[in-house]
Amino acid sequence: MPITKNEKETTTFAKKIAQKIQNGGVVCLFGDLGTGKTTFTKGLAEYFGIDRIKIKSPTYTYIRKHTAKNGQNIYHIDLYRLSHIDDLLLEEINELLENPKDIIVIEWADRMEKYLPENRINIYLEYVDEKRRDIKVVSEVRNNY
Ligand code: ADP
Ligand code: MG
């Protein structure tokens, strides 16, 4: 489990995780503001050929869809502004989770913890100091990840 020394290392780490789920999967990101969840998502998206500049935290919506060159969908979900998940959003997210070929990244996954799918990768990011982040892959529920 790495302590990354800068943004670039977090990006590189994200690409390794991306490789594990290249045929579809769910990555749940946990950690306070500024710990690197969006940075991680940028790295993951980059692995799929999506420009990192396109990955920003959604402001007017909780879900953003990106399509890789090979046609694969990458859904970036950011629940920061959410205090209580409502049925409509949950239904929308559950629909996305039904397609095993898609890549789904959820920032602030704790906001919907009890609704998260069993097959997922949990990633916990912690602030160490200005440039360092402790990143733990706490559970890889599905063995073939
Ligand atoms: P979050 O989405 O968790 O709120 P962001 O990825 O938006 O966090 O912001 C992380 C900030 O911390 C960025 O400004 C990034 O440049 C900076 N940073 C410094 N060191 C690191 C590191 N090791 N990994 C990731 N981000 C880092
Ligand atoms: Mg973020």
Choose the residue to mutate in 3, 11, 39, 105 for probing ligand 1, maximizing ligand atoms within 8 Å of C-beta. Answer: 39
Structure confidence at residue 2 (pLDDT): 87
Helices 37-47, 7-20: crossing angle, 10 deg rounding:
50
Query: How close is the Cα of 35 to the center of ligand 1, in Å?
Result: 5
Amino acid identity for residue 76 in this structure = H
Output Rg (C-alpha) for the chain, integer angstroms: 14
Ligand nearest to the CA of 76: 2
Q: Exposure string (b/e) for 20-53, b if CB count within 10 Å is 16 or more?
A: ebeeebbbbbbbeeebbbbbbbbbbbbbbebeee
Structure confidence at residue 145 (pLDDT): 46
Contact 73, 105 (CB under 8 A): no
Ligand nearest to the CA of 125: 1
Q: Which two tokens stand for residue 109?
A: 């996954």
Rounded CA-CA distance 25/69 in Å is 18
**Whose alpha carbon is nearest atom 27 of ligand 1?**
7
Tens of pLDDT along the chain (145 residues)? Answer: 789 999 999 999 999 999 999 999 999 999 999 999 999 999 999 999 999 999 997 677 899 999 998 899 999 999 999 988 999 999 999 999 999 999 999 999 999 999 999 999 999 999 999 999 999 998 656 545 4
Residue 39, ligand 1, Cβ within 6 A: yes
